[in-house]
């Protein structure tokens, strides 16, 4: 439970591991990046729509 809470709070930061990954693989399509994020970060429990929204937010910035 403690680890889940820590993970949740770390994902609230703007510069977290998911956003860094998206920035490092900016050359990939949205669909391919979403597939990789699901594979690389399985413990987050995010779904495809959540990752797509995060990808769009990061690319907008």
Q: Can you give the pLDDT of all 61 residues of the chain as single tens digits?
A: 666 677 666 677 778 899 999 999 999 999 999 999 999 999 888 999 999 999 999 999 8
Give the torsion sign (CA, 41, 11, 52, 27): negative
**pTM of the model as a whole:** 0.83
Decide if 54 contacts 19 (C-beta within 8 A): yes
Structural domain including 11 reads 2-60
Number of domains in the chain: 1
CA distance 61 to 46: 21
CA distance 44 to 24: 19
Residues in the chain: 61
What is the per-residue pLDDT for 38?
Answer: 96
């Amino acid at each position: 439970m403690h680890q889940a809470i820590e993970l949740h709070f770390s994902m609230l930061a703007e510069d977290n591991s998911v956003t860094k990954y998206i920035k490092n693989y900016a050359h990939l399509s949205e669909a391919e990046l979403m597939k990789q994020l699901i594979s690389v970060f399985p413990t987050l429990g995010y779904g495809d729509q959540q990752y797509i929204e995060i990808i769009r937010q990061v690319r907008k910035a």
